[in-house]
Every structure is written in structure tokens, then in C-alpha cells.
């Protein structure tokens, strides 16, 4: 996956700027985790006026920093300059435009996507990852339990599950220990989905997608100020046979 990051900057010269006779661009950009930073180094020569027979050197260093979206895996990313162009403005300003290329990005799997893969779904169904439908179960406790499963899987490097390869790590024991309860003899139980708010999502669209009542969502979530990237616990209530 390729991303182009546009950058623009007007550099003011102390003297008149009539013509750029030569120009070059170098950079010291590095990517550390999700932060891309460094400097653009622009150098060359220019004329003060059209009638000038001499040229003046210039050397400009422009700092650059940007935080990439955390949904991207950047460990194999490659940084380069895709395009560079300039324009003289107002006889003393050099307008710089640089397109930074970030190549070989890949998207991290979302929790909701991980849940929907067949191997993980099989584990969930086999071990009956359910919670008793008790009023005293607060939003925080439910969310903590759901995220705990995937944190455990991630820490133990069980990403092979997503690729449908074999794993010898005993995920079954973790799931059973987290959701074990003496209240499973109740008449109702709930399973839970984890929905991550993406651009364009609304409460109405989530309700329609998961076929759930808004009052059920409010039991486990604060929906008063939802932001992109927020996680919603979506309960599904079933009658026990």
C-alpha cells in the first residue's frame, strides 16, 4: 500500500528573488513506529535581479513531522520523495511543494475482523464465550473481558490464527478462565461483538448492521460523545435451551 503525504512551505528570502538558477532536495526522514520525522534540505543558487550577472547560494532546512494512522503496520515501510516543485512568489518568497511517498504499508487486522475469521470464530463457538445476562455487569467489566482475550492472543503472538495456520498455544484455557462463571444455569445469556467506529458510521447504521436495540447498546456503552476509533460492545441476547 502506498500513501502520498503532501507538504507545502513558503520560504522568505532576505533579498530580492528573481530567478532560481539551480536547486536540489535531500532529506533525513525516518519512520519510528507511527511517527515520520526529519528535515528537508533544499540548496541551490539564485539571482537577485534579471540584470544580475552573479548568483547567490542558499541552503534551507525545513523540519517535518507527521503521525501516521495507527491502523497501519509500518515495520516494512519505505520512505522516499515522490515529487518536488517550486514557484517564486512576490519577488522574495520561494513556495516549496514536496510529495512524500510512504510505501509498503499494510493495514493491521481489526478486532472485529479477527473475530469474524473462521479459526477464531470456531474457538469462540466451541468454548461458548458467553456472559450471564446480569444487570450488575457494568460496561467497563464487559469491555475489559472482551479486550482481554485479544490482548492475550496478541501478546502470545497468536496472529497465525488470522492466517488460518495451526497454533499450539492453548487459547482455549485462556478463554475459559476469563469467562468462567457459576451463573451459566440462568435462562438467558449474551454473546458480544466489538465494533470499532469508522468514518461514516452512525448509531443508526450500527443498530441496523448488528440488528440490536439502542437501549441494549446504552447498557454497555457511553454513546454521548463517540469518536473515530472508539469501540462499542454489541450484546446479542439468546434464550438458553
Of 152, 148, 236, 137, the C-alpha closest to 192 is 236
Of 215, 219, 2, the C-alpha closest to 104 is 2
> What's the pLDDT at 143?
58
Distance between CA atoms of residues 86 and 96, nearest Å: 5
> What's the pLDDT at 15?
92
Distance between CA atoms of residues 203 and 223, nearest Å: 8
Q: Which has the minimum average pLDDT: 4-18, 35-49, 108-122? A: 108-122
Cβ atoms of 68 and 36 within 8 Å: the answer is yes
Alpha-helical (H) ranges within the chain are 111-116, 118-126, 139-155, 171-179, 203-210, 214-220
Question: What's the average model confidence in pLDDT over 188-200?
Answer: 74
- On the CB side of 53, CA atoms within 13 Å amount to 0
Which of the pair, 107 or 66, is modelled with greater confidence? 66
Most confident of 55-69, 195-209, 212-226: 55-69
pTM higher than the cut 0.95: no
The pLDDT tens digits for 48-88 are 998 888 999 999 999 999 998 877 888 888 999 999 999 99
> What's the pLDDT at 163?
40
Amino acid at each position: 500500500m502506498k500513501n502520498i503525504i503532501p507538504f507545502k512551505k513558503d520560504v522568505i528570502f532576505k533579498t530580492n528573488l528573481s530567478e532560481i538558477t539551480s536547486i536540489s532536495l535531500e532529506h533525513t526522514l525516518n519512520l519510528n513506529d507511527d511517527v515520520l520525522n526529519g528535515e528537508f534540505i533544499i540548496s541551490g543558487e539564485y539571482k537577485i535581479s534579471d540584470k544580475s550577472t552573479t548568483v547567490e547560494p542558499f541552503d534551507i532546512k525545513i523540519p517535518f513531522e507527521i503521525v501516521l494512522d495507527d491502523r497501519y503496520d509500518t515495520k516494512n515501510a519505505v520512505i522516499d520523495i515522490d515529487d518536488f516543485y517550486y514557484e517564486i512568489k512576490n519577488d522574495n518568497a520561494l513556495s516549496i511543494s514536496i510529495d512524500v511517498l510512504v510505501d509498503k504499508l499494510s493495514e493491521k487486522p481489526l478486532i472485529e475482523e479477527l473475530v469474524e475469521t473462521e479459526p477464531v470464530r470456531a474457538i469462540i463457538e466451541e468454548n461458548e464465550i458467553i456472559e450471564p445476562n446480569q444487570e450488575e455487569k457494568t460496561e467497563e467489566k464487559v469491555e475489559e473481558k472482551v479486550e482481554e482475550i485479544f490482548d492475550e492472543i496478541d501478546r502470545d503472538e497468536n496472529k497465525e490464527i488470522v492466517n488460518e495456520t495451526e497454533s499450539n498455544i492453548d487459547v482455549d484455557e485462556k478463554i475459559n478462565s476469563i469467562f468462567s462463571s457459576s451463573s451459566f444455569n440462568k435462562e438467558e445469556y449474551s454473546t458480544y461483538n466489538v465494533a470499532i467506529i469508522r468514518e461514516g458510521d452512525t448509531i443508526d447504521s450500527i443498530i441496523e448492521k448488528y440488528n440490536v436495540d439502542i437501549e441494549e447498546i446504552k447498557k454497555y456503552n457511553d454513546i454521548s460523545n463517540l469518536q473515530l476509533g472508539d469501540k462499542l460492545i454489541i450484546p446479542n441476547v439468546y434464550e438458553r435451551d
